[in-house]
Structure 1
């Protein structure tokens, strides 16, 4: 390759790598910048098989920079690219579109409607994140209504009511009102009676398969034209529990020839023999279907805007039939797509997670492997970080992808400046190898790394080195080579151990001497780190034992972690992210 082309490729690669790393707040990848690089520079294409090798060291150098250094370097090389990036950041701050016709209402009133069949998985956070943010934007009102009218298929978990409210609080929001649908059966019955009086509902005893066949053929059920008095009497017997499961339902009368069979005379009430777990609702056997219950409650609580999944479009259409009978105005509706979340091997499903917890395959809902809000909270992820990452997804009707790196990036911004640093040497063959002990000839008695590299006023840590040091096996240089023990100095690896070398920090840059973390061989604190990939054992500097539960530390070159438990024998931490 021509030398000029090679230099041009390196310069272009550095610009693209800087832009890529800043945009995504992560390390740049050779593969990710190859496309833009070749597209912007057609003259590189004939050297396509060589370019990757030329730019790889450049990308590696960019990945070794801090975000501040990357920004400063991009300002030198291509200030217009930095301006474009900052403009994108400003646009991203406006991720949520305006609510439809919000100006026509005295107050924007929205609702969350969780099913309390278990604590929330991570995907559940999207609803309170977006609705809570809209509430703040419009100075609106927010309801949390527990849709718990299915005591069998989606059986409520009595603990989940409080756990969900705690999750909402953790995310940074507080509902203006809290309702349980299972407290409101009499309200639904009264509206069903009114609907019957208006000729909008009828009792049906057709077997389900028989009714489906008639419905799909566009043929009316033989019970559709019952007189209102008979319907009223049969509904009261339905409410009184005189019918068994499947013997009688109440249907909303719609259009039996509607082009969508799902909307033809849908069920409003049915019998469920399984008692509700809440003592206040255990006597009821006649339960409303969600579309009926939810529609009634949305009107009675004055909801102006509903956000629901694109897969629930039929719900709005069903509820409009009921609203038309009562002469009510239907709320504004925003339908959004499903959110897909990367990183987890476990399905984002309450029933799946519950089964794994019940069978002992997960330690609990806050197991670091679980894709749950409780897990992220225990790992030290702040609720605002989840909210901001969810809000960035907007309300598109298309399916969207949430990268956990976005949550981690948001969290890192919030905790980096206030979080103390510490050294943790992993001693776990299953996760990267064991720790290696080395004596040191000469040099100081202890290392004095800063508590925080950017805050000299916070002081220094004291890590004894006189009795030898421990470092991770992968950081041990070949015999005869040097390594820089962070906060201590330069040492040379000899046949007998380490020998202190009086050198300046410049050797790490000018002579490529690696900087590594380490701990004392004689004064350490045992650590168990719980991570999404499994537990990791190791030892940390002695000062770790002084931190309180819930405090965060950053293990340098490893990542952020939350102190979960302290004892004389061991510190247990939960890994947050790098």
Structure 2
């Protein structure tokens, strides 16, 4: 082996070893270096027996360098490889991958496409969380398009339009434009007419079962070859409402022998007898199917990137036939898997939640037991916490699980500093107390002593939780008040120091005055809990977030004559 070849082998080995060590934050290994190096440099292969002896000392020398020295050396040898490592490190900090082919577009334009058949369940929050974040990352543009062209099967809920916009605002985003697809029906008709003229669609009066049998056999229906003039006339009759539901459809002409039967001559328009609930759209009877309507709108609004569920992969393939007829460029696609959410007994289903509300099993969409965006908002969980947890899931095509504990952890970071502390005793037991100070003065917030102390009158008796009742002749420390000994009938104040907690392990428990405490109902994901809170709870107003010590964070909802109502956020 001549010196020139040896030098090139050493240089390639050093570069590969530096890259391998920095990328994986570990020592480079001969086996990991040899294979790629020999593959990329075929001229080395005749010297395969000698090369390990040349490479081994190079790798040993690289492994002896500090990280800073490795970086400096790789920057000198192959700066582009160092940039690649740094780019990967940066992307690791951002769970959302880069959008594909962004440089091909003047502006990133994305869309939310909610069906307003009900307010959003929690899984629905993933779409605005991700798309809104992408909009911010790329300084892009975001459309909210209500896909409300199904007046029957997924009948729009008139309240849902506003409730969905409220949910988007709660999550921290604002669409650049808001449209209702049901306002755009005439546009869809015009595109259908153009498609007919292109030979890309035909009217069909086959019964559904008959057409399915032909389609599955890869055979055309008898209407497939009718002339354009007839198709056009029959489509205009559809537009004029001259057919009843199921009597006539407009089909996109695709490949009747396509290997995927779902793509064979799919329905673009059908007749619906049920009037649309929006008065502006109630006159229409000929409605576009979602694949046609959505495909047209994505083109008209110049959408560049679509994020949708992996179960909608066939939608893109259907729409591609229309795009090909018109010579349109299809947007970039990201398909993600389904999301599963723990902690709830109620399914992530709009129809299921509606049924439970109708049956009286849930109080409404903001019932704490409901897995909905409205419920999280009423529980005092910030939209930012939901977004942060959602984007951590990324955009994988695999199904993903969202642990509510991750939402709670994000929210805790946001609210802990501002949440004043209070005592709340659930269904407590009342115990007389003697010898104690008249007033307890626990800190408003243990980490912010400058916010002062709250004053709690003690009275002649206190309430504690049943599980905290000590054994007879045992001491406990009433938080913010001091030490007491339980006689079996009463608490007797002992006036000992805090060292009995630190050195002797005396339990610290929370309490409320039996006389001046406030009845409070805490609404939780597992049902309501009742008890009494310290009197200062009445000074907080609706939407204030507090922490009930040893229980968790809660949002003050309202003060009724009989009780205060709070919604439990999380521990």
TM-score with structure 1 length normalisation? 0.82
| Partner of residue 369, structure 1 | 369
Tell me the alpha carbon deviations over residues 130-157 of structure 1, each in whole angstroms, 9 at most, x when there is no partner: 0000000000000000000000000000
| Partner of residue 235, structure 1 | 235
Contact 2:471 2:488 in 1 (8 A): no
Aligned to 1:544, what secondary structure does the other structure show? Answer: helix
- Residue number among 424, 431, 446 corresponding to 1:453 in the alignment: 446
Tell me the alpha carbon deviations over residues 283-308 of structure 1, each in whole angstroms, 9 at most, x when there is no partner: 10000000000000000000000000
Aligned to 1:162, what secondary structure does the other structure show? Answer: helix
Q: How many residues align?
A: 484
Task: Tell whether 2:533 aligns with 1:517.
Answer: no
Task: Tell whether 2:545 aligns with 1:552.
Answer: yes
| Partner of residue 40, structure 2 | none
Tell me the alpha carbon deviations over residues 49-93 of structure 1, each in whole angstroms, 9 at most, x when there is no partner: xxxxxxxxxxxxxxxxxxxxxxxxxxxxxxxxxxxxxxx998764
Separation of aligned partners in 2, 1:203 and 1:569: 65
Separation of aligned partners in 2, 1:521 and 1:164: 44
Separation of aligned partners in 2, 1:569 and 1:213: 65
Residue 221 of structure 1: how far off its partner (Å): 1.4
Task: Tell whether 2:501 aligns with 1:508.
Answer: yes
Aligned to 1:135, what secondary structure does the other structure show? Answer: helix
- Residue number among 434, 455, 458 corresponding to 1:441 in the alignment: 434
Tell me the alpha carbon deviations over residues 224-281 of structure 1, each in whole angstroms, 9 at most, x when there is no partner: 1111111111110111111111111100000111000000000000001000000000
| Partner of residue 300, structure 1 | 300
| Partner of residue 347, structure 2 | 347
Q: Which consecutive unaligned segments of at least 5 residues does structure 2 have?
A: 1-87
| Partner of residue 388, structure 2 | 388
Aligned to 1:269, what secondary structure does the other structure show? Answer: strand
Q: Which consecutive unaligned segments of at least 5 residues does structure 1 have?
A: 1-87, 428-434
Contact 2:91 2:97 in 1 (8 A): no
| Partner of residue 3, structure 2 | none
Task: Tell whether 2:492 aligns with 1:499.
Answer: yes
Contact 1:529 1:575 in 2 (8 A): yes
TM-score with structure 2 length normalisation? 0.83
| Partner of residue 541, structure 1 | 534
Aligned to 2:568, what secondary structure does the other structure show? Answer: strand
Aligned to 1:439, what secondary structure does the other structure show? Answer: strand
Query: Based on CA coordinates, which of the two structures has the bigger radius of gyration?
Result: 2
Separation of aligned partners in 2, 1:557 and 1:496: 25
Aligned to 1:320, what secondary structure does the other structure show? Answer: helix
| Partner of residue 471, structure 1 | 464
| Partner of residue 569, structure 1 | 562
After superposition, the CA RMSD in angstroms is: 1.3
Residue 217 of structure 1: how far off its partner (Å): 0.7
Tell me the alpha carbon deviations over residues 354-406 of structure 1, each in whole angstroms, 9 at most, x when there is no partner: 11112211111111111111111111011111111101100000000000111
Which range moved further: 307-316 or 454-463?
454-463
Separation of aligned partners in 1, 2:386 and 2:424: 27
Change (3 A) 1:166 1:484: same
Residue 327 of structure 1: how far off its partner (Å): 0.2
Tell me the alpha carbon deviations over residues 5-60 of structure 1, each in whole angstroms, 9 at most, x when there is no partner: xxxxxxxxxxxxxxxxxxxxxxxxxxxxxxxxxxxxxxxxxxxxxxxxxxxxxxxx
Residue 447 of structure 1: how far off its partner (Å): 1.3
Contact 1:444 1:466 in 2 (8 A): no
Counting only pairs closer than 5 Å after superposition, residues 300-319 of structure 1 correspond to structure 2 as: 300-319=300-319
Separation of aligned partners in 1, 2:365 and 2:89: 35
